[in-house]
Amino acid sequence: MIFDLILNGDIKEAIITFLMWLPIILLSFSVHETAHALIADKLGDPTAKNLGRVTLNPAKHIDLYGFISMLLIGIGWAKPVPITARNFKKPRNGMALSALAGPVSNLLLAAVFCALASVYSNLIYPLFVNEGNFLALYYIFQFFIYGALINVSLAVFNMIPAPPFDGSRILYVFLPPKAYFKVMKYEQYIGLGIMALFLICSFVEIDLLRFIVYPIVNGMLSLFGA
C-alpha cells in the first residue's frame, strides 16, 4: 500500500501511512512471535525462551527484509521462532499448538484495535469533531483500523496450510505418518515454491491475495465490527 502511494506520487500520504504502520507492525510481529515462543515453552520446549524470544522487544523478532516488505507492500515476516519438536511429549501436536498461537494472538490484537476504534468513534470523536481538528481525528481513527486490518491479515495469511506458514504445522496433525514424513522431507522446497508463486503472480499482475486472502480478511473484519 505504501509502495502504491509512492508510485502514485502521494508522498505526504505515504509518509503518514508509514508513521501509522510502523508501530503497528512492530507490535504485531512481536506479539505473534512471542506467542509462538511462550506456548512452545508451556508445552515443554524452552528453546525460544532460552534465546530471549519470550519478549515484546521488537529487536528480538524483526527480520529487516520482512519488515521492509511488510511496510512497502503489506506482505512480510519476522524471524522464525526456533522450536525443537522432540521436546514436546507429542511433537506434531506441540508444533501445531505453538504454530496456532501466532495467528490467534494477532486475532486477539485485532479485536483490541476494533474495540478501541469503536470506543473512539462513539465516545471520543464526537467530543472533539467540532473544534476544527477533523484531519487529526480522522488519522487517529485510521490508526485503529489499520491495527485491526494488519493483524487480521497476518492471522489469515499465516493460516495458509502450506510451508512456510503456520497453517502447515496445523495441517501436519491430520496427515497420516507416511504423508507427513514425505512432506517434511520436501518442506523447504515446497516453501520456496509457494513464495515463488506469489512473486511470479505479482509480476504478471495476478493478485492472489486479492482473490484468496482479502475476502477472508474482509469477512473477519466484519465479524469484529470494523
Provide the angle, in degrees to the nearest 10, between the axes of the packed helices 214-224 and 134-158: 120
Inter-residue contact 99 to 30 (CB < 8 Å) = no
Q: Single out the catalytic residue among 33, 131, 187, 205.
A: 33
Cβ proximity of 128 and 137 under 8 Å: yes
Q: Return the number of other C-beta atoms located less than 10 Å from residue 190's C-beta.
A: 16
Geometric angle at alpha carbon 188, from 156 and 157, rounded to 5°: 5
- Smallest CA-to-CA distance from 213 within 166, 169, 152 is with 152
CB 71 within 8 A of CB 25: yes
Residue 221 φ/ψ, nearest 5 degrees: -65, -35
d(CA 142, CA 130): 18
CA 187/CA 210 separation, integer angstroms: 26
Is residue 187 annotated as a catalytic residue, yes or no?
no
d(CA 107, CA 78): 17
Q: Which residues are catalytic?
A: 33
